[in-house]
Structure 1
C-alpha cells in the first residue's frame, strides 16, 4: 500500500527523506515512529507477530513490521495479511504465531468496541513534549469522545521511571542497540546476493570513499562508527537489556495490571521508546493539526500479543 508524496508529510524530514520513508508498503520501528506525523493510521505489532525477513535491521528485540494506511480498518486488514510464521524469521514468529486469534484481527473491527474498555491516560511528559500549542485541548476533546463511546477513562496516570525510560543512556537502550545493530546488520548484509558492502565496516569505508554521493559532511556517520566499535553482546549489554526488561515490568506492565487497563492512551510519538524497549503493540490515529498545519496523532498502547 504505497503512499504518494503529496498525500502526507513527515515532520522535520526534508522532501527527499520523506519520500523514501512513506513509499513503503509496511514500516519497521524507526519508520513507524516517523510516520506519526502524517494523517493516517499505523499499527506497530508485538515483536514477532510479523516477519522481519528482508527488513534492514536495527535490533531483533525491537524491530517489527506493521501497516501504515488511511484508516484503522485498512490497517487491520493489511495486518491480517502479513501476520504469521515465516521460516526466514522463525525464532521471532514461531511463538507469536500460536497466539494469533482464530479468524485474525478483522473480527474485532466493532463500532461499539469501546464500551466498557478501561483506558489509562498518560499526559506527563508527552503532552508537554509534543510542543504543539493546540494539542492539549484537542486531546481533551478526543478523550471526551472516547467517554461518549462508552470507554472508562482513568485520567492522569503516571508511568514509573518515565524520565529514565526516555533517556537512552540511562535506560540502557543506547548501549544495547549499538551492539545489536552491528551484529544484525552484518548478518543481513552477508545474505545479500549482490552488494558492494558485506559489513558495517564496509559501509563506513564506502561512505568515506564517496562523501558527495553519501552526503557524509551533512549527515556524518558517528553512530555507525560507534556501533562498529562494539564487540557483540557482553556483560554490559546483557545488563542493559535486563534493565530495560525491569523498567517495562515495573512501569508499563505494572500500570496496566494495577489499573486493570485494556490500553494506555497518550499523545504524539514520544512514547515510542516505551513501546520499543518492551516490544509492546500500539496503534496511532490522526488527532488534529498544529498551527502550522502539521498533523499529529494519538497512541493506543496495549500489552504484548493484543495485536
Structure 2
C-alpha cells in the first residue's frame, strides 16, 4: 500500500472561489438564515401565548418551528464563515457533530411532517373522533418518539461512519459535513455503510412518504365530497403545499444520500443539498403558518396586547 497520512481535520468546499460570488453566496445564506429564525421564532411565540392555538395542529407546527431553527443553525453559520474567510477547516469532532445533528434533525423533520399529515387526515376524515385520537398525551408521545427515533438513527449512522479510517484526501466536496461526501474519503471498504444507508432510507423516508401519500389520498377523496366549493379550496390550499415540501425534501435528500459514492462530486450535489438542509426550514413558516388566517389574527392579537400593556 502507498504511504498515507491519517486525516485529523477536513476542508469544506465553497460554491466558488471568486470573491464577489463568495460574498453573494454568504449574503443569500445569511438572509435565508435570518428570515428562517425570525419567521419560526414569531410562530413559536404566537402559538405559545395564544390560547386559541393550543390545538394538536398548532402544537406540531410549533414543534416544527423549533426544530427548523435548530436544523438550519447546524450548517448555515459555518457555511457563511467558509464563504467569507480563507479558513475552510473543520475538526474531526466538528464534522461528526454536523453529521449527527443534520441527520437527526432531518429525520425528526420528516417524522413531524408525517405526523402533521396524520393530524390532517384525522381532522378531515374522522372529525368526530379527533379529540380522542389526537389527545394532548398522544401528541406528546408522538413528539418524543420522533425525537428519540431521530437521535437513534443519527447516532447509529454517525458512529458507523467515523469507525472508518480516513487517510486519503481531506477535502469534503460539500459546504457542510455529510455522510456521502465523507464516505468518498475513506481508505477502506464502504459498501456496508452504503447498504445500511440505502436500507434505512427506504424504511424511514420511503415509509413516511407512502404514509403521507395514502393520508392525502383519503383526504382528497373526502374533500371532493364537500358540498361547498370554498371548503374544498381551503382544504386543498392547506394540503398541496405540504405535499410539495415533502416531495422536494425527500427527492433532494435521496439524490444525495442514495447516489453511489463512486460518483464524482459536482456542484450540482452541493446545490441539491441546499434543498434538504436549508430550503425546508426557510419555507415551512410561509407554507404552514404565515399563510394561515388564525396565525395572522393571533399575531395581531399579541401585538395589540403588547402595545396596550406598553401604554399602561
* TM-score grouping bracket, smaller chain normalisation: under 0.3
TM-score (norm 2): 0.26
More strand by share: 1
**Normalising to structure 1: TM-score of the pair?**
0.26
Q: Tell me: higher relative CO, structure 1 or 2? Use CA pairs within 8 A at least 6 residues apart.
A: 2
Judging by fraction of residues, say which structure has more helix: 2
